[in-house]
């Protein structure tokens, strides 16, 4: 069988994931099912990069330039994957922002940002942060005297800039990593909302 008749397995897998995305784009599919399909696309891409792309990168770093059955060398496959994965990610974002988010809002389900909050929601979040969130987060300082903090696989992290409000005897540092504890707290926090509405904010 000639190479031209064989498909690259990684690019073929991305095409499979595009078909999952098509389910999220299909207006005939119930709305919340469309949201679930969109989440599946993200989970699939996470695993794809952790396993398949990581293996190709390992081969490139090991100077393994042997082409696969489809004729693509590891570096060529990575280049093709980058193009297709960016296209897929852009389609996914457009699907949510242009289609699903407005439809969800029409059903009274809204994903809010900090500027969208009412005074009641703001007070609720202030209490939630102090009572529930602060006890389970630990900022990890980044400075030349310590190794870079361990970032757990598939964890959500914030990189923050620090400014000291008061003088401290500790060595100064300006950067910190904060792990977002999405493994113990909900990724989307339900907020107080009017009857018949459902408001959420990202953790």
What are the tens digits of pLDDT across the range 26-62?
999 999 999 999 999 999 999 999 999 999 999 999 9
Q: What is the pairing mode between strands 156-161 and 198-202?
A: unpaired
Please determine, for residue 115, whether its predicted confidence score (pLDDT) is greater than 60: yes
Mean pLDDT confidence for 1-19: 83
Phi, psi of 172 (to 5 degrees): -75, 145
Please determine, for residue 148, whether its predicted confidence score (pLDDT) is greater than 50: yes
Domain boundaries of the chain, sorted by first residue: 3-107, 112-202
Mean pLDDT confidence for 164-180: 83
Q: Tell me if 150 sits within 8 A of 184, measured CB to CB.
A: no
Q: Tell me if 21 sits within 8 A of 92, measured CB to CB.
A: yes
Please determine, for residue 23, whether its predicted confidence score (pLDDT) is greater than 90: yes
Q: What is the pairing mode between strands 198-202 and 109-112?
A: parallel
Residue 75 is predicted with a pLDDT of 92
Q: Which two tokens stand for residue 104?
A: 């969800």
Residue 4 is predicted with a pLDDT of 63
Mean pLDDT confidence for 10-27: 95
Question: Dihedral angle at the C-alpha atoms of 111, 116, 119, 121, nearest 10 degrees?
Answer: 10
* Domain made up of 3-107: CATH architecture: Up-down Bundle (1.20)
Mean pLDDT confidence for 7-21: 93
pLDDT per position as a tens digit, 86-105? 999 999 999 999 999 999 99
The fold for domain 112-202 equals: polyphosphate kinase like (3.30.1840)
């Amino acid at each position: 069988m000639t190479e031209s008749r064989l498909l690259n397995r990684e690019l073929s897998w991305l095409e499979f994931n595009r078909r999952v995305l098509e389910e999220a784009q299909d207006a005939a599919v119930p709305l919340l099912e469309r949201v679930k399909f969109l989440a599946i696309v993200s989970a699939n891409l996470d695993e794809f990069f952790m396993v398949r792309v990581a293996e190709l990168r390992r081969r490139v770093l090991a100077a393994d330039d042997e082409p696969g059955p489809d004729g693509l060398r590891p570096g060529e496959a990575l280049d093709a994957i980058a193009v297709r994965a960016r296209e897929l990610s852009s389609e996914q974002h457009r699907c949510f922002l242009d289609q699903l988010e407005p439809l969800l809002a029409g059903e009274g389900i809204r994903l809010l940002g900090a500027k969208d909050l009412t005074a009641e929601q703001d007070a609720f979040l202030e209490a939630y942060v102090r009572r529930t969130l602060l006890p389970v987060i630990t900022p990890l300082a980044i400075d030349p005297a310590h190794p870079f903090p361990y970032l757990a696989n598939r964890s959500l992290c914030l990189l923050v800039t620090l400014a000291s409000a008061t003088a401290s005897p500790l060595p100064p540092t300006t950067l910190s990593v904060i792990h977002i504890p999405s493994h113990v707290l909900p990724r989307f926090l339900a907020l107080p909302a009017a009857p018949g509405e459902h408001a959420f904010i990202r953790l």
